[in-house]
Amino acid sequence: MDKYASKEELKHTQELLAEKIDHRSDVIEEKIVDVKNQVESSNKLLYWILGIFGAVFTGLLVAILTK
């Protein structure tokens, strides 16, 4: 069994590792984009719900104050 790797083996291993790193970074980037989209969607829903509650609260407040 050889203790040392040849230059070709090292170069091949380096290329394989570079491909794996590129793939991992692509997967991580996709996950980041997905999380960002989910946060934006949640914010839109939250703003919509707060708008409805604000309108209802304002209506109730006006009704109570004008009695």
Q: Which residues contact 5 (CB under 8 A, 6 or more apart)?
A: 13
Phi, psi (5° rounding) for residue 34? -60, -45
- Cα angle 26, 28, 32; round to 5: 115
- Cβ atoms of 13 and 5 within 8 Å: the answer is yes
Note the pLDDT of residue 2: 66
Q: Tens place of pLDDT for every residue, the chain, 67 residues?
A: 567 888 999 999 999 999 999 999 999 999 999 999 999 999 999 999 999 999 999 999 999 999 8
